[in-house]
């Protein structure tokens, strides 16, 4: 029996049937002497089937064969990188749906780390995001029922429900004692790739790309056309907290700025099909204004390809913090009975030749000491320092000869830190008090609210009393350090209720220190070349200060 003939029937069989055929192949397929690895694999498959058969025949209690085989597959997958995953039928369907721009849920991306369903990131603008759910939160209960140790699929089923219904999520947050309860109203989650695009009062165009889905290029072109007609003098593209998405969309959006027939990405893997090059295809090249791209530690995958490619072609100044470093390629393979598997098949390399993938992230995500909280932050920091030293040895060059580095994410041309939120601010956000208060306020005061609305002291005092009634406590010092955030957050929420999320967002970014510092660059340097020179000088100043 030849493999090519039998391989075609694998897809039509269940998992147990696949194993049975593998056993038949072991006895009937003649393995060449040189094909030791394949021979070993078939022997192990035969061993696996023998164990399974003996368990079914002899184990004291009844067994569910599907559960046993699925657990075995999960164990096999667990030996690989964290981006290679085996999907149950429901999970596979939901994963496919999430890349198409719309799905139902609370608005959180989750992954099972150890025994806990852990929030990878809240999706901006969704109910979970507005309630203050944060990346790293460990979900311990759903509606009072423990989900510790349950499968991702079971946890999702418990969290989802009818639109408009309520669910209470209990989480454990690193650095916070005890558990926190969040009452969230379920909603249909529609993901706009570009939720915010407008020209600010200073003439700078602002575009926030939330993720790269099937609509990103179409949305970006429309927004760029509109902002250019409005006469923007510069463009700020915000990719912070962008987890990535579709590679083709990353390539096509870069196309808007660098023109046709430019290589953006190439991949290297084990198979010929995994070795690909991706070029721009359209005669589209925006010009006439400088571009700044903002990234942070949560910018990953396709967002890193966009930022790194704009950097490689010297088409934008990249600012913020070094990106996550997710530069591996995954391919979805449908399996029988609705199952699926996502396999890492290659790594991305952008035009300068650098790979943005940070291997340390994969190692930390898979390390049981990290999962169980047994590795100290000092140990993790030491590993990161060692990785950074190696990362800075991997030198590459942009089109104009500027130095960039591979193997550690995308390094910004100019590093700009974000201000940390105070503990009081975090507590007010966790309880979603500004949002709830503004809903009550607008019932009686909506006619009075104009676009230039600012809360007076009486309104702020009412809000603070509202917070006290919800058991929020603070000292005078804590209140003083949080007052600007409280005022701005109240204003943003109230404006949003009457004039929409975009107008509210314009208010919210007033308190975004990282963004406000970035905007100043447009006034200090008028062209991209001037911005590159400015970044070099600023880095030199920081290096001198560090020596002192």
Q: Are strands 234-238 and 204-208 parallel, antiparallel or unpaired?
A: parallel
Where do we find the tokens 């995308």?
410
d(CA 297, CA 320): 9
Residue 246 sits in the same domain as residue 334: yes
Instruction: Give per-residue pLDDT as tens, 2-12.
Output: 434 333 333 33
Judge whether 529 lies within some domain. no
Judge whether 519 lies within some domain. no
- State the pLDDT at residue 98: 54
d(CA 347, CA 356): 9
Nearest C-alpha neighbor of 450 from the set 514, 494, 384: 494
Q: Which of 373, 393, 415 is the last residue of a domain?
A: 415
CATH code of 163's domain: 2.30.42.10
From the CB of residue 229, how many other CB atoms can be counted at a distance below 10 Å?
9
Nearest C-alpha neighbor of 119 from the set 106, 130, 132, 135: 135
State the catalytic residue, choosing from 312, 362, 413, 512: 312
Band (pLDDT 50/70/90 cuts) for residue 17 is low
Of residues 469 and 432, more confidently modeled: 469
Residue 413 to residues 403, 433, 540, Cα–Cα distance (Å): 10, 38, 12
From the CB of residue 258, how many other CB atoms can be counted at a distance below 10 Å?
22
Count of positions (residues) in the chain: 548
The DSSP H or E segment spanning 535 is: helix 528-547
Residue 265 sits in the same domain as residue 395: yes
- The number of domains in the chain is 4
Instruction: Give the three-state DSSP class for 297.
Output: coil
- State the pLDDT at residue 508: 94
CB 395 within 8 A of CB 403: yes
The DSSP H or E segment spanning 357 is: none
Nearest C-alpha neighbor of 31 from the set 16, 10, 22, 52: 22
Q: Which of 138, 162, 190 is the last residue of a domain?
A: 190
Instruction: Give the three-state DSSP class for 102.
Output: strand
Nearest C-alpha neighbor of 143 from the set 183, 103, 114: 183
Residue 504 to residues 25, 491, 493, Cα–Cα distance (Å): 64, 8, 6
Residue 312 sits in the same domain as residue 396: yes
- State the pLDDT at residue 102: 52
From the CB of residue 74, how many other CB atoms can be counted at a distance below 10 Å?
13
Residue 282 sits in the same domain as residue 394: yes
Judge whether 428 lies within some domain. yes
State the catalytic residue, choosing from 301, 323, 328, 496: 301
d(CA 280, CA 312): 14
- State the pLDDT at residue 34: 44
Q: How many C-alpha atoms does 418 have within 13 Å on its Cβ side?
A: 19
Q: Are strands 116-122 and 108-113 parallel, antiparallel or unpaired?
A: antiparallel
Band (pLDDT 50/70/90 cuts) for residue 24 is very low
Active site residue 312: yes
Band (pLDDT 50/70/90 cuts) for residue 463 is very high
d(CA 308, CA 396): 12
Residue 52 sits in the same domain as residue 118: no
Q: Are strands 317-320 and 414-415 parallel, antiparallel or unpaired?
A: parallel
Residue 218 sits in the same domain as residue 363: yes
Instruction: Give the three-state DSSP class for 121.
Output: strand
Strand locations in 289-438, DSSP E? Answer: 291-295, 317-320, 328-334, 340-350, 395-397, 403-405, 414-415
SS3 content of the chain, % helix, strand, coil (to 5): 45, 20, 35
Residue 324 sits in the same domain as residue 387: yes
d(CA 70, CA 92): 14
pTM above 0.85, yes or no: no
CB 299 within 8 A of CB 323: yes
d(CA 186, CA 168): 10
Judge whether 213 lies within some domain. yes
State the catalytic residue, choosing from 172, 321, 326, 498: 326
Residue 380 sits in the same domain as residue 259: yes
Of residues 208 and 65, more confidently modeled: 208
Instruction: Give per-residue pLDDT as tens, 240-297.
Output: 999 998 889 999 999 999 999 999 999 999 888 889 999 999 998 999 999 999 999 9
Band (pLDDT 50/70/90 cuts) for residue 136 is confident
Band (pLDDT 50/70/90 cuts) for residue 103 is low
Residue 359 sits in the same domain as residue 278: yes
Residue 284 sits in the same domain as residue 156: no
Active site residue 115: no
Instruction: Give the three-state DSSP class for 329.
Output: strand
Residue 200 sits in the same domain as residue 186: no
d(CA 201, CA 119): 36
Instruction: Give per-residue pLDDT as tens, 191-214.
Output: 789 999 999 999 999 999 999 998
CB 415 within 8 A of CB 320: yes
Q: Kindly write down the DSSP assignment for every residue of 464-477, as one continuous string.
A: HHHHHHTT----HH
Residue 240 sits in the same domain as residue 157: no
Nearest C-alpha neighbor of 327 from the set 355, 303, 364, 293: 355
Judge whether 212 lies within some domain. yes
* 101 pLDDT higher than 60: no
Judge whether 287 lies within some domain. yes
Nearest C-alpha neighbor of 279 from the set 306, 301, 259, 261: 261
Beta bridge partners of 184: 167
Task: List the domain range (segments joined by +) for residue 289.
Answer: 196-415
Judge whether 66 lies within some domain. yes
CB 137 within 8 A of CB 170: no
Judge whether 372 lies within some domain. yes
From the CB of residue 262, how many other CB atoms can be counted at a distance below 10 Å?
21
The torsion of the CA quartet 129, 132, 133, 135, rounded to 10 degrees, works out to 90
Q: Which backbone phi and psi does 19 adopt, to 5 degrees? A: -65, -40
Q: What's the token pair of residue 329?
A: 């390629």
Nearest C-alpha neighbor of 433 from the set 469, 407, 457: 469
Active site residue 400: no
Instruction: Identify the weakest region by mean pLDDT among 36-40, 53-57, 327-331, 428-432.
Output: 36-40
Q: Are strands 340-350 and 263-269 parallel, antiparallel or unpaired?
A: antiparallel
């Amino acid at each position: 029996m030849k493999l090519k003939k039998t391989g075609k029937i694998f897809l039509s069989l269940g998992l147990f049937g696949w194993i049975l055929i593998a056993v038949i192949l072991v006895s009937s397929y003649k393995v060449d002497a040189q094909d030791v690895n394949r021979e070993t694999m078939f022997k192990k498959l035969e061993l696996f089937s023998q164990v399974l058969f003996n368990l079914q025949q002899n184990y004291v209690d009844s067994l569910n064969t599907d559960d046993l085989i699925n657990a075995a597959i999960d164990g096999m997958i667990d030996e690989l990188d964290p981006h290679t995953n085996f999907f149950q039928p429901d999970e596979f369907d939901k994963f496919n749906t999430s890349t198409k721009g719309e799905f139902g849920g609370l608005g959180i991306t989750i992954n099972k780390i150890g025994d806990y369903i852990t929030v990878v990131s809240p999706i901006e603008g969704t109910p979970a995001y507005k309630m203050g759910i944060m990346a790293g939160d460990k979900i311990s209960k759903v509606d009072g029922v423990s989900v510790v140790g349950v499968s991702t699929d079971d946890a999702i089923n418990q969290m989802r429900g009818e639109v408009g219904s309520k669910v209470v999520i209990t989480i454990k947050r690193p650095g916070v004692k005890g558990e926190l309860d969040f009452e969230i109203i379920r909603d249909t989650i529609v993901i706009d790739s570009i939720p915010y695009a407008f020209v600010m009062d200073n003439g700078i165009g602002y575009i926030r790309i939330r993720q790269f889905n099937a609509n990103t290029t179409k949305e970006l072109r429309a927004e760029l056309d509109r902002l250019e007609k409005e006469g923007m003098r510069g463009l700020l593209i915000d990719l912070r907290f962008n987890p990535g998405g579709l590679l083709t969309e990353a390539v096509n959006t870069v196309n808007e700025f660098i023109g046709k027939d430019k290589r953006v990405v190439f991949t290297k893997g084990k198979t010929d099909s995994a070795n690909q090059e991706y070029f721009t295809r359209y005669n589209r090249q925006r010009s006439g204004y400088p571009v700044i791209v903002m990234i942070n530690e949560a910018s990953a995958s396709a967002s890193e390809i966009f930022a790194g490619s704009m950097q490689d072609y010297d088409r934008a100044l990249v600012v913020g913090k070094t990106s996550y470093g997710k530069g591996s390629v995954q391919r979805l393979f449908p399996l029988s009975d609705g199952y699926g598997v996502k396999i890492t098949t290659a790594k991305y390399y952008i035009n300068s030749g650098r790979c943005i993938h940070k291997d340390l992230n994969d190692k930390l995500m898979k390390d049981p000491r990290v999962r169980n909280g047994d590795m100290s932050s000092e140990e993790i920091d030491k590993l990161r320092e060692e990785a950074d030293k190696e990362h800075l040895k991997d030198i590459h060059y942009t089109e104009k000869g500027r130095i960039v580095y591979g193997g550690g994410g995308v390094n910004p041309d100019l590093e700009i830190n974000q201000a940390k939120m105070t503990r009081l601010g975090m507590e007010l956000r966790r309880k979603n008090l500004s949002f709830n208060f503004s809903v009550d306020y607008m019932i009686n005061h909506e006619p009075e609210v104009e676009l230039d609305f600012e809360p007076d002291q009486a309104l702020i005092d009412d809000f603070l009393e509202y917070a006290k009634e919800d058991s929020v406590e603070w000292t005078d010092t804590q209140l003083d350090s949080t007052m600007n955030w409280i005022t701005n957050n109240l204003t943003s929420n109230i404006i949003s209720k009457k004039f929409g999320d975009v107008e509210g967002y314009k208010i919210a970014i007033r308190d975004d220190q990282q963004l406000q510092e970035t905007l100043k660059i447009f006034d200090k340097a008028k062209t991209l070349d001037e911005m590159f020179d400015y970044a070099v000088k600023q880095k030199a100043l920081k290096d001198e200060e560090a020596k002192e």
